[in-house]
Amino acid sequence: MPNAARARRSATKRTAVYAGSFDPVTAGHMYLIREAAGLFDRLIVAIGTNPEKHYTFSVDERHELLARCVRGIPNVVIDRFSNDFLVEYAKRVKAQYVVRGIRNAHDYEYERTMRQVNGDINPAVTTVFLMPPRELAELSSSFVKGLVGPKGWEKVVKDYLPPPVYKAFLARFRKKRPRGHHEGGLLDMTERS
């Protein structure tokens, strides 16, 4: 980066966007939020929504859960966006950086491609990759939802979710699934193999 651009960037508040569906927020998301909050002056955690996708929690519920989870992290704000490229959203909120999590080689390949596309759309936004520790490396919202069903699932998912999300998750899934139901959970997946 040329010295003039570097000087301009250092004189402004370093703002980053960390976007996702956060359905639900996991311990992995929270790790990345805490790490990114330590790197930037301001971190916008943005809930991306896709009208074609079915969500477990509404966007309002996800917003409220994220707000509860980030209490005590003063430079983090929660926002939402829909039907927009992430780098265009970043430009609109005056963020110079986009934070993305890399859990494995598959994530890397996907995020590397997205970084190139984002650079074509808006070269002024820099993508920053963060890696979670080993114990969170394979954690995703889909993985946690896949644990629901078999006997004892409530205890298993507790380590993967922040406390406010865990309470909401239990309330949502205890209502939806009768005790002993395991269709779609990991038990179901192992029975098919």
Domain ranges of the chain: 3-136, 141-192
The H or E element that residue 48 is part of is strand 42-49
Whose CA is closest to 168, among 48, 68, 29? 68
Give this prediction's pTM: 0.83
Dihedral sign computed on CA atoms, order 52, 26, 28, 147: negative
Q: Count H helices and E strands in the chain, helices first.
A: 9, 5
Longest dimension (CA), the chain: 63
Average pLDDT over the chain reads 87
Give pLDDT tens digits for 75-114.
Answer: 999 999 998 999 999 999 999 999 999 999 999 999 999 9
Q: How confident is the model at residue 175 (pLDDT cuts 50, 70, 90)?
A: low
- What superfamily in CATH does domain 3-136 come from? HUPs (3.40.50.620)
Tokens 């507790």: give the residue: 158
Give pLDDT tens digits for 7-63.
Answer: 555 568 999 999 999 999 999 999 999 999 999 999 999 999 888 889 999 999 999
Local structure of residue 8 (DSSP, 8 states): H
